[in-house]
Amino acid sequence: MQSAAQISQTDLRELVTFKVGEQDYCIDIMSVREIRGWTPATVLPYAPPYVLGVINLRGTIVPIVDLSARLNLGRSEPDSRHVVVITAVNNQMVGLLVNSVSDIMSVSRSAVQPVPEAASEAAGAHIEGVIAIDDRMLRVIDLQVVIPSIGEREIG
Amino acid sequence: MTKIDDIRDTFFQECDDLLEALNDGLGQLGDSADDAAFDDQTVNAVFRAVHSIKGGAAAFALDSLVKFSHHFESVLDLMRSGKVQPSTDLLKTCQKAADHLTDLVASARSGNDQTSLYDQDLAAKLLAFGNSDSGEAAPPEQDFGFVPMIIPISLDFYTPTDTSTFIIKFVATYQLFANGNDPVHLFRELAELGEYSVSTDTSELPDFDDLKWDDIHIKWEIRLTTAHDLSDISDVFEFVDGLCALSILPLEDEIAAESPQLTEIAQQTTALMEPDAPTPADEDQKLQRATTEKISASPKASVRVDLDLVDKLINIVGELVINQAVLTQCIDDAGLPESSQTRASLNEFKSLARDIQENMMAIRAQSVKPLFQRMARIAREASDIAGKSVRFETLGETTEVDRTVIERLVDPLTHIIRNSVDHGVEDPARRREAGKPETGCITLSAAHRSGRVLIEVSDDGAGINRPKVLEIAISKGLISADAVLSDSEIDQLLFLPGFSTAKVVTNLSGRGVGMDVVRSAIQKLGGRVNISSQPGKGTTIAFSLPLTLAVLDGMVVNVAGQTMVVPITAIIETLRPKAEDIHLIGAEGYVVSIRNKLIPIIDLGQAFGHRKQVGRLSEMVLLLVESDRKQPWALAVDGIYDQRQVVIKSLENNYGHVPGVAAATILGDGKIALIIDPEEATERSRPQGQMRQLQGLEEV
């Protein structure tokens, strides 16, 4: 009993799982701010194809990334059934467009395996590891890579 | 935060004000150094600033700060008493001392050890001024232990050994009571010094019916016979300094003032009482008198407010403006008649929201004076390093600008001023050859101009060496060798990334940071940079900046189905072109002829990639916008919806810079509209601009 309690404190990771196309992906729950339905975004000029635009989240301008396009799974045609997962990494807020959110689950850290060699380099670059659960495979997204970084230049 | 930290914070805040006053005063003294009439008041003000810093620093055991300000103060004191003549050299040293003091305060504020920073040479130089010029009149370099608030004074040094009588006149202000002081305690303390009697002057006390409870109507006169001297008495009033009108006079003076025939005796008496050397405590008392004189003109009441709180309020006001837009939309949708009560109330709400917002902006606004003082220092230091003689002048330093704008101007301005000293102003020999005075002049000016702030740095140097600029640009491959450029286009080359004309990398500039970084910093503020130069006469670099970073007046337009906002300040005029006025040059170079001038057209819809081809221009609306290249551009939009105040929301926090877009805003329906940066939009619309992708967004 005691050991189980210890595990829950030190070794468990809570993940939000969702579907992109036909594949299962997940991200750490700590980086998720909220989950909301898709609303049309304002298009940004000169943006990469996977940036759908920006939306107004209670006064904050949040860019939306089409995760399917970002992971090279083809562009989505967003409609009201799509879901936006708002994430915050390093004070930067970005919404990820996914097909649907499936579950919140706790897994042990040791369950996360490195990305198999077989994965193509491009797809593998966005994933920090995989988790095999029952018959499914969950891909853990590396948010740092997926989210467009802010280009900043300062006067030295 | 503990209480002592609070007090410490207050001390440093006060230091800012004091340092400002110090620099101000020294500046004034510098201007009047040549005149015979040397302003005593100014010297006093300068002295007082340094003295207050010293006093405060002692309370927090900031030893280096105390030590240095003590040396500084000694010299100023000699200046004040006329024992040292204010030479240019002395004033220069004082300037340096003030700069050093600023550094010490800054390092003390960040909690660093200031001992290592302490400039021994400068202190010695100050000391030398004190000694050489004044001979034996200089105050002996006493070891105070640097606790100047409590000064041990040996009484048998000069004070008359017998007791003397003082007449103290005391009128409290409302503020004195508001701060929790009570004259009774002061009188009690006085009673401990000697024999005393208080008389109360109630002659100004109004009838009970007219009495206002928080006005001060009572004056006190205290007659004190004591063995202590003046400074001890004024020490009693130390904590109410500035909160009361106070005069402390020896009885003899008092009589002298009242009966002229006794003046002579009184003068003799005061002459006897005059100490051989002024001690700091004595200065205190003189100061107090000086303050007393000024008390009638008390400054406007003000409060110090936490900046975060102001920022929070600004954000809320922003939300209010958005909310008002939402309401307007709702009422429009409801189709209420124009004359309805709701609409009238809404209009009132609109004007109130605008009032609040404008006043909030005024709170955030700050004069550019501290910034300019900082720049004056940069110019001084830069000219010292470059070995050039440069006079630095400022104009319009009371101009108020949003404080964020001011903060973010520091780096670009520093760079420009260093550049002006290093590259702009010639060395003395070359100036002589050109028939100019050896001392160069750099002017920094600020002014409000049509809803924007114009900040200019101009020098009277050699101007931009255009052939050389061209040569460098070609050698660095920035332009092709056969390019034909106008003068102003050559000047613009300076802003290209990777351009630096310095032959030698000097200490000042040429550290690889170019004018391009200055320009991008200014553009981030929604500003524009313009450079103009006349060979042999000098160069002027002008920043045109928005007054605030929170809201702007915008024209809401339709760009190929997308709602966008164009800042009103940029628009010169709007027009619907006639088909016959639109001409085509080449394949896509559309121009419109307006009053016999040909103006290039940019279809924003195409420029932003919302449509492939240029739209039907004759059915669109043209917005004529200003450009820094002195040439207007016409932005073609599909229609104008509205003209309204919009709240500026940063895109850069969560995304990054979008070419041609200054920021975003939230419309009445909650949708986001992008605010166009006309300057950048026209720049980007040239072929190479369209191809450019956002740096940070490329695959990592």
Shortest Cα–Cα distance, B647 to chain A (Å): 10
pLDDT of residue A97: 93
Strand partners for A141: A127
* Residue ranges of E strands in B340-497: 365-367, 390-395, 400-402, 440-449, 452-459
Q: Which residues have CB under 8 Å from B178's CB, separation 6+? A: none
Is B664 touching A (CB cutoff 8 A)? yes
Which residue from B441, B469, B439 is spatially nearest to B457, judged by alpha carbons? Answer: B441
Report the residue from A44, A148, A150 with minimal CB separation from B652.
A150
Q: Is the CB of A61 less than 8 angstroms away from the CB of B653?
A: yes
Domain of A23, CATH number, reads 2.40.50.180
Q: How high is the pLDDT of residue B157? A: 45
B696 part of contact set with chain A, CB < 8 Å: yes
Distance from CA of A9 to the nearest CA of B (A): 32
Q: Measured between CB atoms, does A133 come within 8 Å of chain B?
A: no
Note whether residue A3 is domain-resident: no
Between B281 and B191, name the one with better pLDDT: B191
Task: State yes or no: pLDDT of B686 exceeds 70.
Answer: no
- Closest in A40, A60, A155 to B513, CB measured: A155
Position A82 confidence tier, pLDDT thresholds 50, 70, 90:
very high
- Check residue A121 and give its pLDDT: 64
Q: Lowest mean pLDDT: which of B143-157, B245-259, B536-550, B613-627?
A: B143-157
pLDDT band per the 50, 70, 90 thresholds, residue B204: confident
Q: Are B458 and B528 in contact (CB under 8 A)?
A: no
Asked if residue A37 belongs to a domain, the reply is: yes
Retrieve residue B133's tokens.
């010029």
Q: What is the mean pLDDT of residues B625-638?
A: 77
Distance spanning both ends of chain A, measured CA to CA: 57
Q: How far is B633 from chain A (nearest CA, A)?
A: 20
Q: Which residue has the tokens 């040569």?
A: B471
Checking if the pLDDT of B572 tops 60, the result is yes
Residue B146 has pLDDT above 80, yes or no: no
**Residues pairing with B623 in the sheet:** B574, B635
Residues B62/B65/B66/B70 CA torsion (nearest 10 deg): 180
d(CA B374, CA B321): 36
Q: Name B644's Cβ contacts closer than 8 Å, sequence gap at least 6.
A: B325, B553, B554, B556
Looking at the complex, report in whole angstroms how far the Cα of residue A155 sits from the nearest Cα belonging to chain B: 6
For residues B426-433, average pLDDT: 84
* Measured distance CA(B65)–CA(B58) in Å, rounded: 8
Q: Bigger pLDDT: B463 or B294?
A: B463
Mean per-residue pLDDT of chain B: 75
Asked if the structure places residue A153 within a domain, the reply is no
Between A and B, how many CB-CB pairs are < 8 A?
Answer: 113
Which residues in A lie closer than 8 A to residue B658 (C-beta atoms)? Answer: 44-47
For chain A, the domain total comes to: 1
For residue A1, pLDDT over 60 is answered with no
Region A46-60: mean pLDDT is 87
Name B599's bridge partners: B592
B551-697 topology per CATH: SH3 type barrels. (2.30.30)
State phi, psi for B25 to the nearest 5 degrees: -60, -45
Range of the domain at A119: 13-146
Q: Give the confidence band of B87 by pLDDT, cuts at 50, 70, 90.
A: confident
Categorize the per-residue pLDDT at B627 as very low, low, confident or very high, splitting at 50, 70 and 90: low
Per-residue confidence (pLDDT) for residue B242, from 0 to 100: 72
Mark yes or no for CB contact A61/B412 under 8 Å: no
**Residue A62, amino acid:** V
State which fold the B164-297 domain adopts.
Alpha-Beta Plaits (3.30.70)
pLDDT tops 90 at residue B92: no
Answer whether residue B671 shows pLDDT above 90: no
Residues of A in contact with B664 (CB under 8 A): 42, 54, 61
CA distance B85 to chain A (A): 42
pLDDT score at B171: 81
- Terminal CA-to-CA distance of chain B, rounded, Å? 43
Contact B204, B251 (CB under 8 A): no
Map out the domains of chain B as residue ranges. Answer: 3-137, 164-297, 307-364, 368-546, 551-697
Q: What pTM did the predictor assign?
A: 0.53
Architecture of the B368-546 domain = 2-Layer Sandwich (3.30)
> Which residues in chain A touch residue B319, judged by CB atoms under 8 angstroms apart?
59
> If you measure CA to CA, which chain B residue comes closest to A39?
B671
Give yes or no for B408 touching A (CB within 8 A).
no
Quick check: B654 and A156 CB within 8 A?
no
Residue B476 clears pLDDT 80, i.e. is over it: no
Decide if B674 and A152 are in contact by the 8 Å CB cutoff: no
Amino acid occupying residue B453: V
Q: Tell me the per-residue pLDDT of B343-357, one tens digit each, with 9 for 90 and over.
A: 888 888 888 888 887
The CATH code for residues B3-137 is: 1.20.120.160
| Model pLDDT, residue B402 | 83
Helix (H) or strand (E) holding B167: strand B164-172
Can you give the pLDDT at residue B695?
32
Q: CB-based contact (8 Å) between A43 and chain B?
A: yes
Q: What is the pLDDT of residues B509-538, one digit of tens each?
A: 444 456 777 887 887 777 778 888 888 888
- Domain assignment present for A97: yes
CA B530 vs CA B17, B104, B455, B494, B680: distances in Å: 33, 36, 10, 11, 14
CA dist., res. A16 & res. A103, Å (int): 6
**Residue B334 C-alpha, separation from nearest chain A C-alpha, in angstroms:** 23
pLDDT tens digits, one per residue of B49-72: 888 888 778 777 788 888 888 888
Question: B655 vs A30, A43, A55, A149, B678, CA distance in Å?
Answer: 21, 13, 12, 7, 20
pLDDT at B587 over 70: yes
* A12-20 vs A100-108, strand pairing mode: antiparallel
Query: Residue B699 is encoded by which pair of tokens?
Result: 């695959």
Residue in chain B lying closest to A122 (CA): B699
Of B510, B463, B453, whose CA–CA distance to B491 is shortest? Answer: B463
Residue B130: per-residue pLDDT: 66
Percent of residues, chain B, with pLDDT higher than 70: 80
Q: Is A152 on the interface with B (CB under 8 A)?
A: yes
Instruction: Name the 3-class secondary structure at B333.
Output: helix
Does any CB of chain B come closer than 8 Å to the CB of residue A49?
no
Q: How far apart are CA B325 and CA B344, in angstroms?
A: 15
| Predicted local distance difference test score (pLDDT) of residue B451 | 67
Query: Within a domain: residue A100?
Result: yes
Among the partner-chain residues B319, B520, B658, the one whose CB lies closest to the CB of A59 is B319
What is the average pLDDT across B311-333?
82
CB-based contact B696 A94, cutoff 8 Å: no
Chain A residues lying within 8 Å of B693, measured CB to CB: 46, 48
Helix then strand then coil, in percent of chain B rounded to 5, is 45, 20, 30
Q: Are the Cβ atoms of B693 and A156 closer than 8 angstroms?
A: no
Say if A61 is an interface residue toward chain B (CB within 8 Å): yes
Q: How far is B623 from chain A (nearest CA, A)?
A: 20
**By the 8 A CB rule, do B622 and B575 touch?**
yes
DSSP letters, B198-256, are: EEEE-TT---GGG--TTS---EEEEEEEESS-HHHHHHHTGGGTTTEEEEEEEHHHHHH
Q: Which residues pair with B444 in a beta bridge?
A: B394, B457
Nearest-10 Cα torsion for B115, B121, B126, B130: 110
Closest CA to B40 of B71, B7, B86: B86
